[in-house]
Amino acid sequence: MTIQAPSSINTSQYAFKPGKIQQSLANMGKHIPDKVHDFCDLTTKASMKRTTQFAVIAVCVLLARFLQARNNDERREILTRDTGMVFTAIYAVPLLKKVASMFINKKTGIPVAYGEKGLLKNINPEKGLQMASYEQLAEWLSVKNVESFNGIKNGFAGFCRNIKKLGGDLTKCFSMLDKNSKDTLNDLAKSLGYQKEITNKNVVGLIRQAQKSTDKNVLQKLDSLKTMFVGENKLLTNASNLKSVTGASCIAATAFILGGLLPWFNIQHTKKLYEEKKKSENNGLNNEQAKELPVNNSNMMNKFELFQKTGQIV
Amino acid sequence: MNAIKANNFSYSLINKTGTEEQKTSKHAGNIKVKREFKKPAFAATLPVKEGIGKKTLNLALKAVDKIQKYIESGGFIVEFLVVDFAGMVIPRTYQAYHRNEKELGHPNYAAAKEEFTREILSGPSMFLIPFGFLAASKKMFGSASHVKLDTLKKFKEITGKVVNKAKNSNLAQNFYTKVVDNIYGSKIAENAKKVIVNDFLKLHNATSKKEVKDLNKKVTETLISTNKKIGNDKKLGISMADSSRINLDGMTKNVGDFVEECRNYSSDVINAVSAAGKNVNGQLIDKIHDFKEGARKLITTTAVATMSLFLCYIPKLYSQNKEYPGLAGLKTENKATTEQNTKKEELKK
């Protein structure tokens, strides 16, 4: 975009004089296509997009290691170990978090995630349902003080409506706050003449009605309910703990699969292949036949390949 | 038996059943009566040990919570490094160290060394190299090179609009007023806008690192609380579900990142444009932005390219042994292959 200078302003560039090297480098940068830059773009914390990360790991880690491997055993181990790594670290862990947040929400009624549900919308780990940050949980489930109620539109009713909108079950959330919170809510409903049972659907309406009321008794009960949400309340602590346990479980699962299971499998598998080869040798294969025997397959496959090569049934 | 012990923990008897006759007979003590227990709630099951168990559980939860919060506040880099180090480097090196230990008669040092070198170089390099490039770019090309390209283009548009009518002494103020206008439109009162603009200006004028950090936090909080007051507004892209998001002319941004970008841009480009005084013109603005955009493109692309090349080169660094050390100890079975290779080499000669 070219900006038109006002006619009264003379052209001057004295205020901006980068060094020659910097200018040449920046000129070089201008020739980089936007698509290439978009692919390589970094966040303020120097991390790449997940798609870029996936491509870089697949090509520069998996493929590069595979091509530079010293023998077929190493190649096989790289494929097992690093393919698992690419999918577990980039895709499986975020997907696990999505599933966990849905499970938590369904079981406890606490909202711990936001975003669109549905299988297709959640295939891309960066889109769809996202687990809330600790800051977001604090915003959703607690208030600094009852006077301003975090400045939320419609105060307490708006706050509760938001919890419900995020998928939370308000009756379950209220019962977590305090031993008496559910009773207080029921008392409030009675004071307002509610005949129906208090459910997730009518809590917001009840609170909205209570906010409009001038009855001191109603307002007092409403205040005691509001106070339960101030600061580090039990609901927030529960939500925070559930999120932390999910996060820690994801780390543990990653460590178990990538650090434990896959290398262990590789070690055992290679060992077994060599043991099988040794057994084949002892089972009457002559030295020449043993030389032909590949080590990267099962015993049955070894025999089959040997049959193909020598025509002898082993 | 008047007290029942189950799993070494005493339960208090809640009720005794049996006919009245049985209870009052002289054989009452010998009559086995069915005793009913109310299943106590979890918290009341273990009067002594339950306290310790619950306390331990709570302490463990608190510790997990604290660690996870630390990981999250450090961003994806810390998360990746923790996962990488605790989940990959340590267990993989450990397994490699003990690989074929029985066959070898000693730990597999070579395999452990290879595994450690590979893992310690791979994970951290994916962040440290881009991080180094970004740090260098700030020194070489100015802080605006840290601003993402789409934001940089949008800021250029805004600067172009405000510079024409600016007396230039208050260019920063005009810039931020326009930014806040674009974010909130007429949704918030003029006074509220002024408060935000003033906060931004304080951040713009901040000099020390601590001041910048504190004011960054303050402006971020102001924007988030403004978003909360608005609640849900699809047109402005503001949602109660995530009030830490804002929308600048179609670009959805994290408030914290956006505030950082604003500071990086204004302390560099706006200051440069302001320094031109009345001599500022469109050509100068174009020149500055072309330079910053070029620098940004170069830095991000070369950072990712360098990191990719380094990752490709890592196998050369860890493959110091001619033979794959994972096979050490299994070598006796490998003799046939070795002999075959030697024969092949001889034939080639």
Are residues B282 and A3, on separate chains, in Cβ contact within 8 Å?
A: yes
Residue type at B228?
Answer: K
Are residues A270 and B327, on separate chains, in Cβ contact within 8 Å?
A: yes
Of A57, A254, A60, nearest in space to B92 by CA: A254
Q: What is the ipTM of this complex?
A: 0.73
> A87 Cβ partners below 8 Å, 6+ apart?
none
A206-251 pLDDT, tens digit per residue, is 889 888 888 888 888 888 888 888 888 899 999 999 999 998 888 8
Q: Which residues of B touch A114 (CB under 8 A)?
A: 241-242
Q: Compute the nearest-CA separation of A71 from chain B (Å).
A: 7
Of A189, A190, A192, A187, nearest in space to A201 by CA: A189
Give the integer Cα–Cα distance in Å for A205 and A210. 9
* Whether the predicted pLDDT of A309 surpasses 70: no
* Whether the predicted pLDDT of A28 surpasses 70: yes
The pLDDT value given to residue A40: 92
CA distances A259 to A264, B89, B93, B109, B265, Å, are: 8, 7, 9, 18, 42
Which residue in A11, A14, A16, A289 has the most chain B C-beta atoms within 10 A of its own C-beta, making it the best mutation to test that interface? A16
Candidate from A114, A245, A291 with C-beta closest to B64: A245
CB hemisphere CA count around A137 (13 angstroms): 26
Are residues A70 and B291, on separate chains, in Cβ contact within 8 Å?
A: no
For residues A251-277, average pLDDT: 90
Give the integer Cα–Cα distance in Å for A136 and A117. 19
pTM, whole model, 2 decimals?
Answer: 0.74
Q: Which residues of A touch B314 (CB under 8 A)?
A: 61, 64-65
A127-177 pLDDT, tens digit per residue, is 888 888 888 898 889 888 877 776 777 888 888 988 998 889 998 998 888
CA distances B27 to A124, B15, B19, B32, B33, Å, are: 74, 19, 13, 10, 12
Average pLDDT score over chain A: 82
Candidate from B300, B311, B312 with C-beta closest to A37: B300
The pLDDT value given to residue B168: 61
Band of pLDDT at residue A69, cut at 50, 70 and 90: very high
Bridge partners of B238?
A: B233
CA distances B208 to A63, A292, B145, Å, are: 46, 72, 20
Q: Which residues of B touch A271 (CB under 8 A)?
A: 100, 330
Contact B209, B220 (CB under 8 A): no
CA distances A32 to A27, A39, A50, Å, are: 10, 11, 21
Bridge partners of B248?
A: B251
The pLDDT value given to residue B283: 83
Q: Does B75 or A56 have the greater pLDDT score? A: A56
Pairing, β A130-131 against β B35-36? unpaired
CB atoms < 10 A from the CB of A68, how many?
17
Are residues A139 and B288, on separate chains, in Cβ contact within 8 Å?
A: no
Give the integer Cα–Cα distance in Å for A282 and A270. 19
B:20-49 residues touching chain A, CB 8 A cutoff: none
Of A60, A51, A86, A63, nearest in space to B307 by CA: A60
By CA distance, what is A148's nearest residue in B?
Answer: B229
A186-195 pLDDT, tens digit per residue, is 888 888 888 7
Residue type at B301?
Answer: T
Q: Compute the nearest-CA separation of A40 from chain B (Å).
A: 5
Token pair listed for A161: 């409506």
By CA distance, what is B163's nearest residue in A?
Answer: A5
- Asked if B286 is an interface residue toward chain A (Cβ–Cβ < 8 A), one would say yes
| Mean pLDDT for back-to-back runs of 10 residues, chain B (349 residues) | 39 40 49 45 42 82 87 72 81 93 91 93 88 91 91 92 70 91 89 92 91 92 88 83 86 91 92 79 87 94 96 93 88 53 60
Contact B255, B245 (CB under 8 A): yes
B128-168 pLDDT, tens digit per residue, is 899 999 999 988 999 999 999 999 999 999 998 888 655 66
> HEC string of chain B?
CCCCEECCEECCCCEECCCHHHHHCCCHHHCCCCEECCCCCHHHHCCCHHHHHHHHHHHHHHHHHHHHHHHHHCHHHHHHHHHHHHHHHHHHHHHHHCCCHHHHCCCCHHHHHHHHHHHHHHHHHHHHHHHHHHHHHHHHHCHHHHCCHHHHHHHHHHHHHHHHHCCCCCHHHHHHHHHHHHHHCCCCCHHHHHHHHHHHHHHHHCCCHHHHHHHHHHHHHHHHHHHHHHCCECCCCEECCECCEEEECCEEEEHHHHHHHHHHHHHHHHHHHHHCHHHCCHHHHHHHHHHHHHHHHHHHHHHHHHHHHHHHHHHHHHCCCCCCHHHCCCHHHHHHHHHHHHHHHHHHC
Q: Which residues of A touch B76 (CB under 8 A)?
A: 43, 45, 47
Are residues A266 and B240, on separate chains, in Cβ contact within 8 Å?
A: no
Q: Which residues of A touch B316 (CB under 8 A)?
A: 68
B:243-262 residues touching chain A, CB 8 A cutoff: 243-244, 257, 260-261
Q: Compute the nearest-CA separation of B125 from chain A (Å).
A: 11
Please name the residue that has the structure tokens 């595979």.
Answer: A66
Of A229, A105, A242, A100, nearest in space to A167 by CA: A105
The pLDDT value given to residue B170: 84
Q: Which residues of A touch B277 (CB under 8 A)?
A: 15
A113 SS3 class: strand
The pLDDT value given to residue B42: 38
* Whether the predicted pLDDT of A61 surpasses 90: yes
Q: Which residues of B touch A60 (CB under 8 A)?
A: 308-309, 311-312
Give the integer Cα–Cα distance in Å for A295 and A312. 19
Pairing, β A130-131 against β B15-16? unpaired
Pairing, β B5-6 against β A130-131? unpaired
Residue type at A55?
Answer: A
Give the integer Cα–Cα distance in Å for B92 and A273. 21
For residues A180-207, average pLDDT: 85
The pLDDT value given to residue A302: 57
* Helix axis angle, A170-177 to A234-254, nearest 10°: 100
Give the integer Cα–Cα distance in Å for A9 and B283. 11
Residue A304 sits at the vertex; the CA angle it makes with A302 and A307, to the nearest 5 degrees, is: 110
CB atoms < 10 A from the CB of B190, how many?
8
The pLDDT value given to residue B10: 37
Q: Which residues of B touch A61 (CB under 8 A)?
A: 122, 311, 314
* Whether the predicted pLDDT of A126 surpasses 90: no
A244's enclosing H/E stretch is helix A234-254
- Asked if B308 is an interface residue toward chain A (Cβ–Cβ < 8 A), one would say yes
Candidate from B86, B324, B327 with C-beta closest to A255: B86
Are residues B92 and A1, on separate chains, in Cβ contact within 8 Å?
A: no
Candidate from B127, B286, B322 with C-beta closest to A47: B127
Q: Which residues of A touch B87 (CB under 8 A)?
A: 251, 254-255, 258-259
Contact B182, B248 (CB under 8 A): yes
Residue type at B15?
Answer: N
- Asked if B77 is an interface residue toward chain A (Cβ–Cβ < 8 A), one would say yes
Q: Which residues of A touch B309 (CB under 8 A)?
A: 60
Are residues A25 and B294, on separate chains, in Cβ contact within 8 Å?
A: yes
Domain definitions of chain A by residue range: 143-230
Are residues A26 and B295, on separate chains, in Cβ contact within 8 Å?
A: yes
A4 SS3 class: coil
Of A53-67, A296-310, B128-142, B145-159, least confident by mean pLDDT is A296-310
Are residues A16 and B243, on separate chains, in Cβ contact within 8 Å?
A: no
Q: Compute the nearest-CA separation of B343 from chain A (Å).
A: 12
